Structure 1
Amino acid sequence: MTDRNRPRVVVVTGASGGIGRAAAREFGARGDKVALLARGETGLRAAAEEIRDAGGEALPIPTDVADWEQVRDAADRVEEELGPIDVWVNVAFSSVFAEFKDIDPAEFRRTTEVTYLGYVHGTKAALDRMLPRDHGVIVQTGSALAKRGIPLQSAYCGAKHAIQGFHESLRTELLHRKSNVRVTIVHMPAVNTPQFDWVESKLPRHAQPVPPIYQPEVAARALVYAADHPKRREYWVGGSTVLTLLANRIAPGLLDRYLARTGYDSQQTDRPRDPHQPANLWKPADGPDGHDFGAHGDFDDKAHPRSIQTWAAEHRGLLAVGAGAALGLTGAGLLRNGR
């Protein structure tokens, strides 16, 4: 568990919107010093104001995480202005909603550079500073799609699968070194974020998260919890994540056929896609004078504000005690009945 006797220095990538925005706000509300990395300057400014209003200290740094030099320089600036980095949370991503046959190789490469190499760059920048101090936590924002691919998201699924392998490899190296630097990954369900309004899309209808949908605050709380409890190798958020990953272990071929049949409609609403909607693959949708998209997307009326499964994961000790007590009572009853 991390030291909570002082404000931590926390870096959150992708902090201008969605899960990153909600996570940065959650850290800031605890009084942490939060560095915000993203390309969207309008969203960065708004996120910084939210953190300051919540009682935290904010340092917005416009950064393209696909560019190693920008990430390295941002980390240097964080340590110069806020102090040694305690926690680094990788969230930033981009993607393309389309069948693979319709994705240009340059679009696939750009998605990989942002969504996968952005995590590599962030992790490298954090480790370069944490390893000499033998202190720090790196939290990777994963997804159920890091272990189970679905149609129309081949670029994103490929990048998230790469992050999973990267995480496992790095974790074994840190264990070998007996390092006190911790790395963990939090696998997310479908979340109500603005990505469905700004991710490059070639679908005929407006994109949506695959139900059930959760609010970004659910994901944010899980990331903060993981930063406080980083010894676990991974966390699964949402019952849908658990069911998907377990089903993929038991019957992956059957799940292939199910997703082939349902995966197209479940990722699109009934309304046509706006051909003029912004696309943030190559440039931020919320540029210097752009619209602040915030943390939430268009699906507030369908999104769950909490996750029972996540609560259970956070209270495993309490549940174990309760289960033990129940088993004890059951055993006592059986003994009495057997006399």
Structure 2
Amino acid sequence: MAPTEPRTVVVTGASAGVGRAVARAFAARGDRVALLARGRAGLDAALEEARSAGARAMAVTVDLADPDAVERAAESVERTLGPIDVWVNAALASVFAPFTEVTPADFRRVTEVTYLGYVYATRAALRRMLPRDRGCVVQVGSAIAYRGVPLQSAYSGAKHALQGWNEAVRCELLHQGTAVRTTMVQLPAVNTPQFDWVRSRLPREGRPLGPVYQPEPIARAVVHAADHPGRREYRVGASTVATLLANALAPGLFDRYLARTGFDGQQTDTPRPPDQPDNLWAPLDDHRDHGAHGRFDAEARSRSFQAWADRHRAPLAAAAGALLTAGALARGQRR
């Protein structure tokens, strides 16, 4: 069941993409929402959306790679909105390039934002939640947490690290007997603005490795995970489930499949401008709001039946059991 009282929710990466959609979803429910990101224009627009939905909201400009800044942001949130109940980590940074063309500085930056940023944020959240014995942290992950892909070695490494670290923390919380939980939502390819501002050394414009989903079904899954953090993991999109299954059953064959398809599949037919700006070291949305969606609306899916079924698997299992029982009884009567 969803909570009956508004909660204080922190969303990182809230100025655009998945984080922006997640912030909208919590605000629409009337939760108090704290929006954390680097870009001022995107944060201002997200703040206006949240307030227009009737939610109490605040925006904090912060670089998640700075642990002291993250701690100060958490303090500011609790002073303004009250004790933090839910913390959603959705920020990311990436580089599109073969591994040998990614500089050590760029690789470190992706790791600091996409992995260590989650670590610092979760530490700030748990420091406040554990003494109160309540709260949850939702980590926005990816199928890439299980299956690395070519041209995204830094991002793949960060997501794999995130997966292992989160599992360790979850076990520690269970050992402590606290009611505080962490859970993870593994995503498919998503139509976000990141493909217009990610640092790239590819010859053509980058694109998600399809099938592509809109940010809204992701946001619904994140809200559900925050309401039901007892489950260790949620998965959005049949492609996510298929990727994890194929990698578990035949990882070597999957290596060869991605070697054949992963290069062209992550590029459009349009040449990339050689001077294309990126947001790896500084935000690109200080003067322009990019919103939640990228430029792939025409092909992106707005619903995920798999995610819906995953959220309702208990009643679906009960219904399936009832049908099987009814069928068995009917066969018995015919005999």
Read off the aligned partner of 1:327 and give its amino acid letter: L
**1:115 matches 2:114:** yes
Please list, as runs of the form range in 1=range in 2, the aligned pairs for 1:190-339 lying within 5 A after superposition.
Answer: 190-287=189-286, 290-337=287-334, 339=335
Superposed displacement of residue 277, structure 1:
2.6
CA distance in 2, matches of 1:278, 1:17: 17
Superposed displacement of residue 275, structure 1:
2.5
Please list, as runs of the form range in 1=range in 2, the aligned pairs for 1:138-177 lying within 5 A after superposition.
Answer: 138-177=137-176
Superposed displacement of residue 6, structure 1:
1.6
TM-score (ref. length: structure 1) = 0.98
CA distance in 1, matches of 2:273, 2:306: 35
Alignment RMSD = 0.9
CA distance in 1, matches of 2:4, 2:301: 32
CA distance in 2, matches of 1:96, 1:309: 29
Q: State the partner residue of 2:177.
A: 178
Q: State the partner residue of 1:101.
A: 100
CA distance in 2, matches of 1:279, 1:20: 18
| Secondary structure class of the residue paired with 2:256 | helix
CA distance in 2, matches of 1:185, 1:311: 16
CA distance in 2, matches of 1:25, 1:236: 20
Superposed displacement of residue 192, structure 1:
0.1
Read off the aligned partner of 1:178 and give its amino acid letter: G
Read off the aligned partner of 1:156 and give its amino acid letter: Y
The count of residues paired between Structure 1 and Structure 2 equals 335
| Secondary structure class of the residue paired with 1:317 | helix
Read off the aligned partner of 1:306 and give its amino acid letter: R
| Secondary structure class of the residue paired with 1:184 | strand
CA distance in 2, matches of 1:235, 1:7: 23
| Secondary structure class of the residue paired with 2:36 | strand
Read off the aligned partner of 2:224 and give its amino acid letter: Y
Cα deviation per residue 1:108-149 (whole Å; 9 max; x = unaligned)?
000000000000011000000000000101000000000000
Superposed displacement of residue 291, structure 1:
1.4
Superposed displacement of residue 274, structure 1:
2.2
Read off the aligned partner of 1:97 and give its amino acid letter: F
Cα deviation per residue 1:279-307 (whole Å; 9 max; x = unaligned)?
110000112xx211100000000000000
Read off the aligned partner of 1:129 and give its amino acid letter: R
Read off the aligned partner of 2:175 and give its amino acid letter: H
CA distance in 2, matches of 1:336, 1:68: 68
Superposed displacement of residue 278, structure 1:
2.3
Read off the aligned partner of 1:309 and give its amino acid letter: Q
CA distance in 1, matches of 2:272, 2:18: 23
CA distance in 2, matches of 1:47, 1:147: 31
| Structure 2 unaligned residues grouped into runs of 5+ | none
TM-score (ref. length: structure 2) = 0.99
